[in-house]
Amino acid sequence: MPVIRLSRLSHAYRPGVFALRDVELTVEQGERVALLGESGAGKSTLLRCLNGLVTPTTGTVTVLGQPVNLLGEDERRLLRRRIGMVFQEFNLIERMTVLQNVLVGRLGYVSAWKSCLRLFPSADVQLAQSCIEQVGLNGYAHTKVRNLSGGQKQRVGIARALAQQAEIILGDEPIANLDIRTSQEIMRLLRDINRRTGATIVLSLHDVDAARHFCTRIVGLRAGEVVFDGAVERCDEKVIQRIFY
């Protein structure tokens, strides 16, 4: 069973103006997919459809076997727990520590009143510590996020997804705010996590080299339509032209 299936997906934020048009996409477990396209192509909209933040105008979204737009509040929350998100702007709580931010990944698992009191089970704290080590931030658990570099912040974002034990990791331009070397480190980290845990990874990117180097498959979006879908090996210059020009 595929982990993601989009069928005839279209979305218009305003009537008649389509951000996505007739998108068909099936992703199998363990793939590393790059959504490639210029600004405005519809990459973020597609990612938001996957976690239910956007309800598409038409079409169906099935994630981990669940019809995202037909779920009730509770079911949707349970599904979101299985989907980790990393962001261009990191979406961390700057005044809190690395450990506290990573523990946010456990919030879906802790009852509301306990999380208000920040009473995380010690197993959660241990898991968070191990995720912090897995992303190479040993020794930073008690550092406030605002004192970290961009690359380190993105590592915290990834550790949060790991702590969530997410089966799918979605990234919306996760390297757009980073320099080239740091971008490569972050892409390598995501690739290693994918290989080790089998988590499916879907990233929106506009960096062709990063997509080709670190992903297994490229989905090219242009003006809301899929103009290429195939293995990275097939993504030659002609394809890049089709996606970007």
Ligand X SMILES: Nc1ncnc2c1ncn2[C@@H]1O[C@H](COP(=O)(O)OP(=O)(O)O)[C@@H](O)[C@H]1O
d(CA 215, CA 161): 18
Number of amino acids touching ligand X (CB under 6 A): 11
The stretch among 20-28, 42-50, 89-97, 130-138 that binds Mg ion (CB under 5 A) is 42-50
Number of amino acids touching Mg ion (CB under 5 A): 2
Task: Output 70-76 pairs: Cβ under 8 A, ≥24 positions apart.
Answer: 76/52
* CB-based contact 63:170 (threshold 8 Å): no
Which residues sit opposite 10 in a β-bridge?
58
Phi first, then psi, for residue 40 (nearest 5°) are: 90, 0
Q: State the binding partner of 41 from Mg ion, ligand X, none, CB within 5 to 8 A by kind.
A: ligand X
- Of 31 and 225, the one with the shorter C-beta distance to ligand X is 225
User: For the chain, how are helix, strand and coil distributed in percent, rounded to 5?
Assistant: 40, 25, 30
CB of 227 to ligand X, least distance (A): 13
CB of 204 to ligand X, least distance (A): 6
Q: Pick the binder of Mg ion from 4, 35, 44, 178 (CB under 5 A).
A: 44
Tell me the residue type at 47.
L
- Of 47 and 193, the one with the shorter C-beta distance to ligand X is 47
Residue 19 contacts ligand X per CB under 6 A? yes
Tell me the residue type at 180.
I
- For residue 62 the two structure tokens come to 């099935």
CB of 176 to Mg ion, least distance (A): 9
d(CA 117, CA 125): 14
Q: Which of residues 43-82 bind ligand X (CB under 6 A)?
A: 43-45
Angle at 130 between CA 128 and CA 131, to 5 degrees: 65
- Of 43 and 80, the one with the shorter C-beta distance to ligand X is 43
- Of 33 and 193, the one with the shorter C-beta distance to ligand X is 33
Residue with tokens 């520590």: 97
Residue 42 contacts ligand X per CB under 6 A? yes
Residue 202 contacts ligand X per CB under 6 A? no
Which residues of the shown chain bind ligand X in the complex (CB under 6 A)? 13, 19, 37, 39-45, 204
Which residues of the shown chain bind Mg ion in the complex (CB under 5 A)? 43-44
